[in-house]
Structures are given as structure tokens and as C-alpha cells.
Amino acid sequence: MRHRKTALLPAIAALALSAASAAAQTAFDPAGLPETRGTVRQYTLTPRGDIDGLILTDGTEVKAPPHLSVQLAFAVRPGDAVTIHGLKARALPLVDGTMIRNDATGATVIDLGPPGRDRSETTV
């Protein structure tokens, strides 16, 4: 019994550290950025085939970094209504998507920068 408790202690400590790390990563609230709503017409792809954005039915292009390709593919599909928080171009129908939320499912993809030693992509 004592062996089980000592084996569980590192796992609990790691879980607590990852929760603290996730809280620190979300200190910036992308919901404060301008909001754009629309319906996804199609994905935009890199030459390698990674998803790097969306095109909405009104022609607005939403850019996202390729490291979020898998998260976008699972969270948002063509035909889905989405809400995007990000910086808008002044003269073009272009948005740099920092947070993309599927309005029907609530699945949200947030860009916290490229993954590194202390970071991972976040899908809520």
C-alpha cells in the first residue's frame, strides 16, 4: 500500500504543474480582440497540405498558423458557423485568427504560439 502512495505522488505533482502551466498560458484573453462571425466555406492549405486558415462564405479569409492544423480539422468543418477573434485587415476581407470557435459544438482553438518545451496547442 505504501508503494502505491509513493508512486502516485509524482503523478499528482505533474498534474498540478501542468494545470498551473495551462493557467499561465491563458493569461492573454483573445476574446478581447475584434470578433468576426461567419460560416466556413473551405479550408486554406499550405503547399504541404496543412490547414493554415479558413475561407468564410462571405469571402473573408481567416489565417491561422500551420501548427494548429490538426486542431482546426477536428474543431471546425466546412458548413459550420464560427466566431473568430483576431486582428482584421483594414482594407481587405482578412482576419488573423487568434481564437476560432465552432458555434454549434463550442470547440475552440486558441493560438498560444508554436509548441515548445513549455507549451502545447490548446483546444477547449
pLDDT digit string (tens) for the chain, length 124 residues: 555 555 554 554 444 444 434 444 556 788 889 999 999 999 999 999 999 999 999 999 999 988 999 999 999 999 999 999 999 999 999 999 999 999 999 999 999 888 775 555 555 5
d(CA 41, CA 81): 10
Question: How many residues make up the chain in this entry?
Answer: 124
> What is the total count of domains within the chain?
1
18 is a domain residue: no
The predicted structure's pLDDT at residue 15: 43
What is the value of pTM for the model shown? 0.71
Strand partners, 43: 54
Distance of CA 43 to the CA centre of its chain: 15
Asked if the structure places residue 84 within a domain, the reply is yes
Give one DSSP letter per residue of 66-94, joined into a string: GGGHHHHHHH--TT-EEEEEEEEPSSSSE
Range of the domain at 53: 30-123
Give the pLDDT of residue 27.
64
User: Residue 20 domain-assigned?
Assistant: no
Q: How confident is the model at residue 38, as a pLDDT? A: 97
